[in-house]
Amino acid sequence: NAGVMQNPRHLVRRRGQEARLRCSPMKGHSHVYWYRQLPEEGLKFMVYLQKENIIDESGMPKERFSAEFPKEGPSILRIQQVVRGDSAAYFCASSMALSFTDTQYFGPGTRLTVL
Amino acid sequence: TQLLEQSPQFLSIQEGENLTVYCNSSSVFSSLQWYRQEPGEGPVLLVTVVTGGEVKKLKRLTFQFGDARKDSSLHITAAQPGDTGLYLCAGGAGTSYGKLTFGQGTILTVHP
């Protein structure tokens, strides 16, 4: 039973380029969450999506960041015109359904480095 | 804004010692998860607690959820070098669907 998959595991971009991070949830999971872990900081919530819908994007920066979870295919976190401050580990998590336990299962992360 | 204060931030002990990590908040959470994260990897779920006063045991690890569901603790008995890692607590608020609030983490080092 495959877990949450993320790719690429490592991504290097120059300032001004675009970064696309992909996440495939666990089989049977229809809820996807993105978190960011900055150096020396804890995990911070960014966005929560269900298939074709953004449910909560209260943690997303107002500009340059967007997320989608199409009917078919993985969830995508897109960062346009990256800056050095975007360098971080980005984690995707998934859950089976909206449940009282809120349990989420995390992927291995994508380490983004902006040169 | 809900916050989770995790302490201590760093813990360095000898093999065989016991330790406790605390996770505290002024807010009530509907659930509390504990994760362990290895360098270069994602957090791996250890346990979820949902009932005030709940105690769960996982081999040498004991997890407790406070009666008021505002705090939690992780106790490790007879720590081993394999327990070394980053331990994270995360709270789910129920009404903030899907949004987990994480503590800053505790870096545990167990020396042989």
Give the per-residue pLDDT at A102. Answer: 62
Using pLDDT thresholds of 50, 70 and 90, give the confidence band for residue A39.
confident
The DSSP output letter for A72 is: S
Whether pLDDT at B98 is above 80 = no
Residue-wise pLDDT tens digits, A41-67: 789 999 999 988 999 999 999 999 999
Average pLDDT score over residue span B25-44: 91
- Tell me if chain A has a CB within 8 Å of the CB of B88: yes
| Nearest chain B residue to A108, by CA | B42
Q: Which residues are A13's β-sheet partners? A: A114
| Nearest chain A residue to B6, by CA | A42
Instruction: Tell me if B88 and A42 make a contact (CB, 8 A cut-off).
Output: yes
Give the per-residue pLDDT at A100. Answer: 60
> Which chain B residues touch A75 with a CB distance below 8 Å?
none
Whole-number Å distance between alpha carbons of B97 and A93: 14
Mean pLDDT of all residues in chain A?
91
> Higher pLDDT residue, A100 or B43?
B43
Give the per-residue pLDDT at B92. Answer: 85
Of the listed ranges B34-38, B61-65, B96-100, the one predicted with least confidence? B96-100
The DSSP output letter for A34 is: E
In the numeric block, which tokens belong to residue B81?
């070098």
Whether pLDDT at B97 is above 80 = no
Phi and psi, residue B19, nearest 5°:
-150, 160
Using pLDDT thresholds of 50, 70 and 90, give the confidence band for residue B85.
very high
From A81's Cα to the closest Cα of chain B, the distance in A is: 25
Residue-wise pLDDT tens digits, A69-91: 998 899 999 999 999 999 999 99
- Tell me if chain A has a CB within 8 Å of the CB of B31: yes
Give the per-residue pLDDT at A103. Answer: 77
Give the per-residue pLDDT at A40. Answer: 74
Give the per-residue pLDDT at A34. Answer: 97
Q: How many CA atoms lie within 13 A of A51 on its CB side?
A: 9
Q: Check if the beta carbon of residue B93 is closer than 8 Å to that of residue B27.
A: yes
Give the per-residue pLDDT at A10. Answer: 97
